[in-house]
Amino acid sequence: MHLEWQQVITQIIGFLIALFILKKLAWKPLLRVLEERKERIKSEFGKIEEDRKKAQTLLEQYQEKLKEIDAEARVRIQEAVNAGRNISGEIKQQAQAEAKEVLNKAQAEIGREIAKAKVQLKNDIVNMTLSATEKIIGEKLDEKKHKQLISDFISELELKK
């Protein structure tokens, strides 16, 4: 192997010229394209990070709204339960008042019936006593005087009770 120095120097000079030409013509555009690509990738990552933050914010807002909706639903359910209890209490009170009124009316009616029965019983006793007295005595006394005597007698009996 024999090395020729002329050829080596020519190749070195050609390489340096090609390198200079590439540096002037291709290197700067190539670096510019690479820099643009780097910036585009960086901005895409920035947008992705920004979108991720927005999505996280939206997620937090939705979760907060869900909590508010849940709390509002609980409040409304509690209000409905309380309203049901109030209505139930009102119905119960109304039913008790009506039952008491019916009971009072029944007691008043019973009192009137008892008073009627007492008057009727008193009249029946007076009539039976008159009949029995007439049969025993055999004659009819003055009816007005006789009824008065028997009524007085029965009234005395009632007072002794």
The domain spans of the chain are 39-160
Angle of helix 28-137 versus helix 143-160 axis, rounded to 10: 130
pLDDT at position 19 is: 87
Q: What is the pLDDT of residues 12-45, one digit of tens each?
A: 999 999 988 888 888 788 888 899 999 999 999 9
What rounded mean pLDDT belongs to the chain?
A: 86
Q: Tokens 């340096």, residue?
A: 16
Token pair listed for 111: 């009192």
pLDDT at position 148 is: 76
Does the pTM of the predicted model rise above 0.85?
no
Pairwise CA distance, residues 125 & 151, whole Å:
9
Q: What is the pLDDT of residues 104-134, one digit of tens each?
A: 999 999 999 998 988 888 788 777 777 777 6
